[in-house]
Protein backbone atom coordinates (compact mmCIF):
# COMPACT_ATOMS: atom_id res chain seq x y z
CA UNK A 1 0.00 0.00 0.00
CA UNK A 2 1.32 3.41 -0.95
CA UNK A 3 2.47 5.64 1.84
CA UNK A 4 -0.15 8.40 1.82
CA UNK A 5 1.85 10.58 4.18
CA UNK A 6 5.10 10.39 2.23
CA UNK A 7 4.54 13.76 0.47
CA UNK A 8 3.80 15.36 3.83
CA UNK A 9 6.96 13.97 5.41
CA UNK A 10 8.94 15.00 2.36
CA UNK A 11 7.54 18.53 2.63
CA UNK A 12 8.46 18.88 6.31
CA UNK A 13 11.90 17.42 5.65
CA UNK A 14 12.77 20.39 3.46
CA UNK A 15 15.10 23.03 4.84
CA UNK A 16 13.46 25.79 6.80
CA UNK A 17 15.02 28.23 4.35
CA UNK A 18 13.43 26.48 1.38
CA UNK A 19 11.09 28.87 -0.44
CA UNK A 20 8.51 26.14 -1.14
CA UNK A 21 8.39 25.21 2.55
CA UNK A 22 8.15 28.86 3.64
CA UNK A 23 5.23 29.55 1.30
CA UNK A 24 3.59 26.21 2.09
CA UNK A 25 3.77 26.80 5.85
CA UNK A 26 2.29 30.28 5.43
CA UNK A 27 -0.63 28.87 3.44
CA UNK A 28 -1.09 26.05 5.97
CA UNK A 29 -1.15 28.45 8.92
CA UNK A 30 -3.67 30.68 7.12
CA UNK A 31 -5.97 27.73 6.36
CA UNK A 32 -5.81 26.40 9.92
CA UNK A 33 -6.44 29.86 11.36
CA UNK A 34 -9.38 30.43 9.04
CA UNK A 35 -10.89 27.09 9.96
CA UNK A 36 -10.43 27.79 13.65
CA UNK A 37 -12.11 31.18 13.34
CA UNK A 38 -15.03 29.69 11.40
CA UNK A 39 -15.55 26.90 13.93
CA UNK A 40 -15.31 29.33 16.82
CA UNK A 41 -17.82 31.68 15.20
CA UNK A 42 -20.32 28.88 14.70
CA UNK A 43 -19.88 27.64 18.25
CA UNK A 44 -20.16 31.10 19.77
CA UNK A 45 -23.09 32.31 17.64
CA UNK A 46 -25.81 31.21 20.12
CA UNK A 47 -23.96 32.98 22.93
CA UNK A 48 -23.50 36.11 20.81
CA UNK A 49 -27.19 36.19 19.94
CA UNK A 50 -28.09 35.73 23.60
CA UNK A 51 -25.76 38.57 24.58
CA UNK A 52 -27.24 40.83 21.89
CA UNK A 53 -30.76 40.07 23.11
CA UNK A 54 -29.70 40.77 26.69
CA UNK A 55 -28.11 44.06 25.61
CA UNK A 56 -31.26 45.11 23.75
CA UNK A 57 -33.37 44.25 26.80
CA UNK A 58 -31.02 46.23 29.03
CA UNK A 59 -31.28 49.24 26.72
CA UNK A 60 -35.06 48.98 26.71
CA UNK A 61 -35.17 48.73 30.51
CA UNK A 62 -32.86 51.73 30.83
CA UNK A 63 -35.01 53.77 28.46
CA UNK A 64 -38.22 52.80 30.22
CA UNK A 65 -36.74 53.74 33.58
CA UNK A 66 -36.18 57.28 32.27
CA UNK A 67 -39.74 57.61 30.95
CA UNK A 68 -42.16 57.47 33.88
CA UNK A 69 -45.34 55.59 33.05
CA UNK A 70 -44.08 54.09 29.79
CA UNK A 71 -43.54 50.63 31.28
CA UNK A 72 -47.15 50.57 32.48
CA UNK A 73 -48.29 51.83 29.09
CA UNK A 74 -46.45 48.99 27.36
CA UNK A 75 -48.16 46.49 29.62
CA UNK A 76 -51.57 48.06 29.04
CA UNK A 77 -51.23 48.03 25.25
CA UNK A 78 -49.57 44.61 25.08
CA UNK A 79 -46.49 46.01 23.33
CA UNK A 80 -43.75 43.39 23.09
CA UNK A 81 -40.95 45.18 21.22
CA UNK A 82 -39.29 48.55 21.65
CA UNK A 83 -36.86 49.98 19.13
CA UNK A 84 -34.85 53.17 19.51
CA UNK A 85 -34.02 55.05 16.30
CA UNK A 86 -32.31 58.34 15.55
CA UNK A 87 -34.21 60.80 13.37
CA UNK A 88 -32.79 63.59 11.22
CA UNK A 89 -35.13 66.37 12.27
CA UNK A 90 -34.70 68.54 9.16
CA UNK A 91 -36.21 66.00 6.76
CA UNK A 92 -37.71 63.40 9.10
CA UNK A 93 -35.58 60.52 7.83
CA UNK A 94 -34.04 57.83 9.98
CA UNK A 95 -30.30 58.23 10.56
CA UNK A 96 -28.68 55.01 9.37
CA UNK A 97 -25.08 55.92 10.18
CA UNK A 98 -25.35 56.44 13.95
CA UNK A 99 -26.09 54.34 17.02
CA UNK A 100 -28.90 55.84 19.15
CA UNK A 101 -27.11 54.56 22.25
CA UNK A 102 -24.24 56.95 21.48
CA UNK A 103 -26.42 60.03 21.10
CA UNK A 104 -25.61 62.77 23.62
CA UNK A 105 -28.06 65.68 23.52
CA UNK A 106 -25.97 68.05 25.60
CA UNK A 107 -22.86 67.39 23.49
CA UNK A 108 -24.87 67.92 20.29
CA UNK A 109 -26.19 71.25 21.55
CA UNK A 110 -22.62 72.42 22.19
CA UNK A 111 -21.52 71.42 18.68
CA UNK A 112 -22.33 73.95 15.90
CA UNK A 113 -22.19 71.16 13.33
CA UNK A 114 -24.61 68.95 15.27
CA UNK A 115 -27.19 71.61 16.14
CA UNK A 116 -28.73 74.85 14.95
CA UNK A 117 -29.50 78.18 16.59
CA UNK A 118 -33.20 79.04 16.60
CA UNK A 119 -34.52 82.46 15.69
CA UNK A 120 -36.63 84.07 18.41
CA UNK A 121 -39.84 83.95 16.36
CA UNK A 122 -39.38 80.19 15.82
CA UNK A 123 -38.15 79.31 19.29
CA UNK A 124 -41.54 79.19 21.01
CA UNK A 125 -40.25 76.44 23.32
CA UNK A 126 -37.47 78.71 24.59
CA UNK A 127 -34.64 76.22 23.98
CA UNK A 128 -32.34 78.53 21.91
CA UNK A 129 -30.65 75.64 20.07
CA UNK A 130 -31.99 72.42 18.60
CA UNK A 131 -29.93 69.31 17.86
CA UNK A 132 -29.99 68.07 14.27
CA UNK A 133 -31.02 64.62 15.43
CA UNK A 134 -33.20 63.14 18.13
CA UNK A 135 -34.00 59.64 19.34
CA UNK A 136 -37.52 58.31 18.94
CA UNK A 137 -38.94 55.16 20.46
CA UNK A 138 -41.04 52.77 18.36
CA UNK A 139 -43.22 50.37 20.33
CA UNK A 140 -44.57 47.41 18.42
CA UNK A 141 -46.79 44.39 18.98
CA UNK A 142 -46.42 41.33 16.76
CA UNK A 143 -44.47 43.46 14.27
CA UNK A 144 -47.10 46.21 14.01
CA UNK A 145 -46.39 49.75 15.17
CA UNK A 146 -48.54 50.64 18.16
CA UNK A 147 -46.94 53.70 19.73
CA UNK A 148 -44.31 56.31 18.95
CA UNK A 149 -42.71 58.03 21.92
CA UNK A 150 -41.20 61.46 21.28
CA UNK A 151 -38.87 63.16 23.78
CA UNK A 152 -39.85 66.83 24.11
CA UNK A 153 -38.65 69.69 26.27
CA UNK A 154 -38.90 73.42 26.70
CA UNK A 155 -39.03 76.32 29.13
CA UNK A 156 -41.58 76.25 31.92
CA UNK A 157 -41.99 78.97 34.52
CA UNK A 158 -38.90 78.30 36.66
CA UNK A 159 -37.28 75.35 34.92
CA UNK A 160 -36.86 73.29 31.81
CA UNK A 161 -39.70 70.81 31.44
CA UNK A 162 -38.75 67.47 29.90
CA UNK A 163 -41.46 65.05 28.88
CA UNK A 164 -42.22 62.02 26.73
CA UNK A 165 -45.22 62.16 24.42
CA UNK A 166 -46.63 58.81 23.31
CA UNK A 167 -48.65 58.93 20.09
CA UNK A 168 -50.78 56.11 18.71
CA UNK A 169 -50.19 54.54 15.30
CA UNK A 170 -52.64 56.97 13.64
CA UNK A 171 -49.99 59.63 14.38
CA UNK A 172 -52.64 61.98 15.71
CA UNK A 173 -54.03 60.53 18.95
CA UNK A 174 -52.12 60.96 22.20
CA UNK A 175 -51.71 57.75 24.16
CA UNK A 176 -49.94 59.27 27.17
CA UNK A 177 -47.83 62.11 28.42
CA UNK A 178 -45.08 61.49 30.97
CA UNK A 179 -43.17 64.25 32.75
CA UNK A 180 -39.52 63.29 33.09
CA UNK A 181 -38.14 66.42 34.74
CA UNK A 182 -39.47 69.76 35.96
CA UNK A 183 -38.74 72.26 38.68
CA UNK A 184 -41.69 74.62 38.60
CA UNK A 185 -43.49 75.98 41.65
CA UNK A 186 -44.64 73.28 44.11
CA UNK A 187 -48.41 73.27 44.44
CA UNK A 188 -48.83 75.14 41.16
CA UNK A 189 -46.76 74.40 38.05
CA UNK A 190 -45.31 71.27 39.62
CA UNK A 191 -48.79 69.75 39.46
CA UNK A 192 -48.06 68.72 35.88
CA UNK A 193 -46.61 65.57 37.46
CA UNK A 194 -49.85 64.66 39.24
CA UNK A 195 -51.45 61.43 37.92
CA UNK A 196 -54.89 63.05 37.84
CA UNK A 197 -53.70 65.73 35.42
CA UNK A 198 -51.67 63.33 33.28
CA UNK A 199 -54.80 61.16 32.98
CA UNK A 200 -56.43 63.98 30.96
CA UNK A 201 -54.09 63.43 28.00
CA UNK A 202 -54.93 60.00 26.52
CA UNK A 203 -57.30 60.34 23.57
CA UNK A 204 -56.50 63.99 22.85
CA UNK A 205 -55.59 64.95 19.27
CA UNK A 206 -52.40 66.77 18.36
CA UNK A 207 -53.61 68.10 15.01
CA UNK A 208 -56.76 68.58 12.95
CA UNK A 209 -57.69 67.10 9.56
CA UNK A 210 -55.50 69.64 7.74
CA UNK A 211 -52.44 68.64 9.74
CA UNK A 212 -52.36 71.90 11.70
CA UNK A 213 -51.00 71.33 15.21
CA UNK A 214 -53.70 72.44 17.63
CA UNK A 215 -52.94 70.77 20.94
CA UNK A 216 -52.98 73.31 23.80
CA UNK A 217 -53.62 73.81 27.47
CA UNK A 218 -56.58 76.10 28.12
CA UNK A 219 -57.96 78.03 31.05
CA UNK A 220 -60.98 76.39 32.57
CA UNK A 221 -62.39 73.20 31.13
CA UNK A 222 -61.33 71.75 27.81
CA UNK A 223 -64.10 71.69 25.20
CA UNK A 224 -62.44 70.21 22.08
CA UNK A 225 -60.34 67.10 21.36
CA UNK A 226 -57.30 69.38 21.01
CA UNK A 227 -57.57 70.96 24.46
CA UNK A 228 -56.35 69.90 27.89
CA UNK A 229 -57.29 71.61 31.15
CA UNK A 230 -54.56 74.04 32.20
CA UNK A 231 -53.10 74.08 35.70
CA UNK A 232 -55.03 76.53 37.86
CA UNK A 233 -52.75 79.29 39.13
CA UNK A 234 -49.89 78.20 36.85
CA UNK A 235 -50.50 80.12 33.64
CA UNK A 236 -46.83 80.31 32.63
CA UNK A 237 -46.28 76.59 33.17
CA UNK A 238 -49.40 75.83 31.13
CA UNK A 239 -48.25 78.18 28.36
CA UNK A 240 -44.81 76.58 28.45
CA UNK A 241 -46.34 73.12 28.00
CA UNK A 242 -48.42 74.31 25.04
CA UNK A 243 -45.43 75.98 23.41
CA UNK A 244 -43.00 73.10 23.83
CA UNK A 245 -45.51 70.61 22.42
CA UNK A 246 -46.34 72.82 19.47
CA UNK A 247 -42.66 73.38 18.76
CA UNK A 248 -41.71 69.71 18.84
CA UNK A 249 -44.74 68.65 16.84
CA UNK A 250 -44.10 71.41 14.32
CA UNK A 251 -41.80 72.05 11.38
CA UNK A 252 -38.60 72.48 13.42
CA UNK A 253 -39.33 69.47 15.60
CA UNK A 254 -40.82 66.10 14.76
CA UNK A 255 -43.28 67.48 12.21
CA UNK A 256 -41.26 66.31 9.17
CA UNK A 257 -40.79 62.89 10.78
CA UNK A 258 -44.51 62.42 11.44
CA UNK A 259 -45.36 63.68 7.94
CA UNK A 260 -42.89 61.23 6.43
CA UNK A 261 -44.37 58.34 8.41
CA UNK A 262 -47.85 59.24 7.18
CA UNK A 263 -46.64 59.31 3.59
CA UNK A 264 -44.22 56.40 3.53
CA UNK A 265 -44.90 54.34 6.64
CA UNK A 266 -42.08 52.60 8.45
What string of pLDDT tens digits covers the 266 residues of the chain? Answer: 456 667 767 767 777 777 777 787 788 788 887 777 777 767 776 776 677 656 555 555 655 665 556 677 667 777 777 888 999 999 999 998 888 888 999 999 999 999 999 999 999 999 999 999 999 999 888 888 888 999 999 998 888 899 999 999 999 999 999 888 888 777 777 788 888 999 999 999 999 999 999 999 999 899 999 999 998 888 888 999 999 999 999 999 999 999 999 998 76
Q: Are residues 13 and 73 in the same domain?
A: no
| 68-75, long-range: CB < 8 A, 24+ apart | 68/178, 68/179, 68/180, 69/176, 69/178, 69/198, 70/137, 70/149, 70/164, 70/166, 70/176, 70/178, 73/147, 73/166, 73/175, 73/176, 74/139
Which phi and psi angles does 74 have, rounded to 5°? -60, -40
Q: Is the residue at 60 inside a domain?
A: no
**pTM for this one?**
0.74
- Same domain? For 131 and 244 the reply is yes
Task: Specify the number of domains making up the chain.
Answer: 2
Q: Looking at residue 59, what is its pLDDT?
A: 54
Domain of 41 in residue numbering reads as: 6-54
Whether residue 207 sits in one domain with residue 77: yes
Residue 61 belongs to a domain: no
Give the pLDDT of residue 146: 86
pLDDT for the residue numbered 64: 60
pLDDT at 1: 46
168 and 115 within one domain: yes
Q: Which of 32, 54, 76 is the last residue of a domain?
A: 54
Amino acid sequence: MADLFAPVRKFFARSNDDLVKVIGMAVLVALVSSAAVSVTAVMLKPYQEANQAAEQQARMDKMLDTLPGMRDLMMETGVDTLETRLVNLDDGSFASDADPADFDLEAALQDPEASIALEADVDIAGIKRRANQSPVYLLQKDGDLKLIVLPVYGAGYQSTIRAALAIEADLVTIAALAIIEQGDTPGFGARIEEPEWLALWPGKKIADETGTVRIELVRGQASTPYEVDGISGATRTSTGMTNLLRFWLGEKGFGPFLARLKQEGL
